[in-house]
């Protein structure tokens, strides 16, 4: 059973962090470069980010439980545990705070595109905040990949 738990630990990191990097830095830029309709590209990108957000939340939950069970009371003393929690919190802030706010602005702007509406400035601000959180989460994820073996010791 221990080997299965360890394999799931590594798979969760790979899926979460790999998905972050592939979706955020390959798929979404390709969508905007390839589709002529920026509104459609944004809608598809939003769905991809939301889907990866749920994958990330599930992965972060598993990783936190795995590390807590593995190290018991010592978990809070391990940096990789805090790394998982920090990345998970950033993800939750984006998923449950910023993304719904941006979706509401898009909805309120209808029938116009949000970038052609009175919501433009607020949307641009929150999109920037979301992008910064995503970048930090991506870097924390990369750090987690590098330190993944620390969770197995």
Distance, in Å, from the CA atom of 86 to the CA atom of 82, rounded to the nearest integer, reads: 6
Query: Which of the four pLDDT bands, split at 50, 70 and 90, describes residue 151?
Result: low
CA distances from 29 to 48, 113, 116 (A): 12, 19, 21
Domain range for 13: 2-151
pTM value? 0.89
CB 50 within 8 A of CB 81: no
pLDDT tens across 35-74, in order?
988 889 988 999 999 999 999 999 999 999 999 999 889 9
Domain count, the chain: 1
Q: CA separation (Å) from 27 to 19, 40, 71, 118?
A: 10, 14, 37, 29
Q: Which residue has the tokens 């939340």?
A: 57
State the average pLDDT for the chain: 93
Burial class (CB in 10 A: 0-12, 13-18, 19+), 146: exposed
Whether residue 120 contacts residue 114, with contact meaning beta carbons closer than 8 Å, is answered with yes
């Amino acid at each position: 059973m221990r080997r299965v738990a360890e394999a799931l630990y590594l798979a969760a990191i790979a899926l979460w962090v790999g998905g972050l990097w592939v979706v955020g830095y390959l798929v979404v830029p390709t969508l905007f470069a390839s589709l002529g309709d920026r509104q459609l590209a944004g809608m598809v990108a939003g769905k991809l980010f939301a889907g990866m957000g749920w994958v990330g939340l599930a992965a972060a939950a598993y990783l936190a439980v795995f590390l807590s069970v593995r190290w018991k009371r010592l978990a809070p003393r391990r940096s990789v545990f805090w790394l998982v929690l920090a990345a998970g919190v950033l993800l939750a802030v984006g998923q449950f705070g910023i993304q719904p706010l941006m979706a509401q602005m898009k909805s309120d702007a209808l029938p116009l595109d949000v970038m052609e509406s009175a919501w433009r400035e607020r949307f641009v601000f929150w999109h920037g905040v979301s992008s910064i959180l995503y970048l930090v989460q991506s870097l924390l994820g990369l750090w987690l990949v590098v330190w993944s073996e620390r969770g197995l010791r």
